[in-house]
Amino acid sequence: MRVKKMVALVAVSLLPLVACTTAAEEESAVTEESSATVEEVEEDASVLFLSFTNDITEMAGQILEGMNREFASAGFAVDVQTAAPAGAEDNEGFDRLLENAITIEPDYLIVLPSSYDITENRLVQIEEAGIKTIVVNYFPGMLENEPLIDPLTWITVDERLMGEVGGEYMADQYCAAGKSPNVLPFYGPAASEISIQRMGGAIDKLNEGLAACGQEMVILEELFVDFNREKAFTSAENMATKYPKGELDLIIGANSNTALGAMEALIGQNRIDDVDILGMGGQLDEMAAICRGEIAAAGFRDSLRMGSTIAQTIMDTNDGLPVDKITLPPIPVVYDCESVFENLPDIFWEYEAFQRNISEEMYAQYAG
């Protein structure tokens, strides 16, 4: 869709059902109205970005930041619209947004669902409408069945690998301590393939690593907290009471918010020093918590890089160039402040969600 209209190089607008704006979002370039100078340009493409959240501190917001920076750097004139439902568990809200996409008819739809299976039939309809689709968070190798869609590309991380790198790290720590840990897995939504993949990778690597050193893991029970920070807080608070000191060693959070909610509960219960937390993702305040030593480790996903790849894919497609069908960036494990600063893109170092959550001395040591 090439139309002449008044647009900024990267103009972002919000659609109905968008998540509430946070203070962290306000410091991002991903805002309701771009601050870029508006001029008359020929629009190269229209993009609709649908995600479970647009918060800059989380994955989707960082992807948007990387995408918009890449577009701006290339001087690519694009109209970007974004929308999100009430939360990761709001599958009906997400479905309504997908249905609206058919009416809006963007050139490109970027979709970050919390469950692929629940959204697949709607994505089939979107493809039939001739909308080029980029699927983020999933790729065929992590799906139980062959996908019914053939998107322009799949851009994600290997979610199982994200769990594996963290599980392997924690197994090494418990082996070094000669300890068999009692573990609580905190899953995301029950229908989330991402949650199942991540947790399966973490648990399998923990079992494998512990067995190699003569230790074993005991799963006390499994909890489903919908990737929700408040639900994770409440569940961790209850579990800290149910399992006193010496009976609980590790909480595994299937995403950053889950790990952060558990951390906050353990701090409140004065249990943060005797219960480890394994996170997954790379949210900014999760990275700060790893710097502080309150979250033990996390598999890190470079969402900024993923956003840059999305933008490049769209620009290459517009130019008639071939694009990779699947892109899987590497996933390092971060476990202390040095590894955080090595892997977190430096544009995020000064974001409030990161910088305000570590000490000035620590920031000066690693950022200076």
Express each pLDDT in 178-188 by its tens digit: 999 999 999 99
Segment 294-336, tens digit of pLDDT: 999 999 999 999 999 999 999 999 999 999 999 999 999 999 9
> What pLDDT shows up at residue 42?
62
> What pLDDT shows up at residue 13?
39
Q: Averaging pLDDT over each range in 3-7, 25-29, 116-120, 140-144, which range is the top one?
A: 116-120
All structural domains of the chain, each given as residue ranges with its CATH number in brackets, are: 4-156+303-327 (3.40.50.2300), 160-300+336-367 (3.40.50.2300)
d(CA 84, CA 94): 7
> What pLDDT shows up at residue 31?
36
Name 79's bridge partners.
Answer: 11, 46
Q: For the sheet containing 78-83, what is the strand order?
A: 10-14, 78-83, 45-51, 108-112, 132-136, 153-155, 326-327
Pick 15 or 209 by higher pLDDT. 209
Residue pair 245/274 in contact by the 8 Å Cβ criterion: yes
d(CA 277, CA 251): 5
- The DSSP line for 39-73 is EEEE--EEEEEEES---TTSHHHHHHHHHHHHHHH
E strand or H helix at 120, and its extent? helix 116-128
Token pair of 120 as six digits: 């697949």
246-262: b (≥16 Cβ within 10 Å) or e: eebbbbbbbbbbbbbbb
> What pLDDT shows up at residue 11?
38
Mean pLDDT of the chain: 88
Dihedral pair phi/psi, residue 214, rounded to 5°: 80, 15
d(CA 148, CA 140): 10
Name 82's bridge partners.
Answer: 14, 49
Pick 155 or 14 by higher pLDDT. 155
